[in-house]
Amino acid sequence: GEALIDHHRGLRQGAPEVIFGQGKTSEQILRIAEGLLNGNNNVLVTRLDADKAAPLVERWPEAAYDPLGRTLTIVRHAVATTGRGPILVICAGTSDLPVAREASTAARMLGNRVEELADVGVAGLHRLLAHLDQLRRASVIIAVAGMEGALPSVIGGLVAAPVIAVPTSVGYGASLGGVAALLGMLNSCASGVTVVNIDNGFGAACAAARINRQEQP
């Protein structure tokens, strides 16, 4: 017997090939980006340090580099908003902002409307509860938190929408580089919270985009 599979992963996943900048030289990224642009694609580079971004911005002055989220975007044709509703990216502390920003930039590039909410950690509940309406309007919530990673549990108890938890490596000592937050989120007492890798804002955005697609299979 035989089975067929086709070659068009891009189409199947609904997501552009994104360049993972970490561990690549500016030259390598430049070459790959050139190929993508020639194919008339928009380009998203993640985990890109400022010094490595410089030659790219010089080559393509229309490129936008974001030093906070460490992403570079080159938009050749406007990204159509295809998501069903807003994706809300929430983070607990200011140190979690880089990961949150990576998530929101990626979610926008994948065709979603994105809202951001920062500094709403669980040790200051009133700050979170002041935004209950916004929380309940969201189509998907990406909750980013380091240290004990309790934010997604609280949010999961407040809304019915899908909640994607992103642990961050923010912290020291027994935070074990984000493992404490990761374990906390995997053991969330709010049923139906799902988790991605430590600091993986990009992956959370991809998952949210999969969920937020308008068309059905």
Q: Which of residues 19-78 bind ligand AMP (CB under 6 A)?
A: 19-20, 46-47
Instruction: Write out the binding residues for ligand AMP, residues 83-142 only, by CB under 6 A.
Output: 93-95
Q: How far is residue 95 from each of residues 68, 100, 101, 152, 192, measured CA to CA in Å?
A: 10, 10, 11, 17, 26
Q: How far from the centroid of its chain's Cα atoms is residue 33's Cα? A: 20
In one letter, which amino acid is 62? E
If the CB atoms of residues 81 and 197 are measured against ligand AMP, the closer one turns out to be 197
Q: Which part of the chain contacts a second copy (CB under 8 A), choosing from 48-56, 68-76, 112-120, 137-145?
A: 137-145
117 belongs to the binding site for a second copy (CB under 8 A):
no
If the CB atoms of residues 23 and 217 are measured against ligand AMP, the closer one turns out to be 23
Q: List the end-to-end C-alpha distance of the chain, in Å, as a whole number.
A: 27
Q: How far from the centroid of its chain's Cα atoms is residue 37's Cα? A: 22
If the CB atoms of residues 17 and 65 are measured against Mg ion, the closer one turns out to be 17
Contacting residue, 43, 97, 145, 164, with Mg ion by CB under 5 A: 145
Instruction: Write out the binding residues for a second copy, residues 151-190 only, by CB under 8 A.
Output: 153-154, 156-164, 167, 169-190
If the CB atoms of residues 29 and 166 are measured against Mg ion, the closer one turns out to be 166
Instruction: Write out the binding residues for ligand AMP, residues 152-191 only, by CB under 6 A.
Output: 191
Contacts with 206 (C-beta within 8 Å, 6 or more apart), sequence order: 15, 106, 110
If the CB atoms of residues 85 and 211 are measured against ligand AMP, the closer one turns out to be 211
CA distance 19 to 71: 10
Nearest-approach distance from CB 18 to ligand AMP, in angstroms: 4
- Closest C-alpha among 196, 34, 212 to residue 100: 196
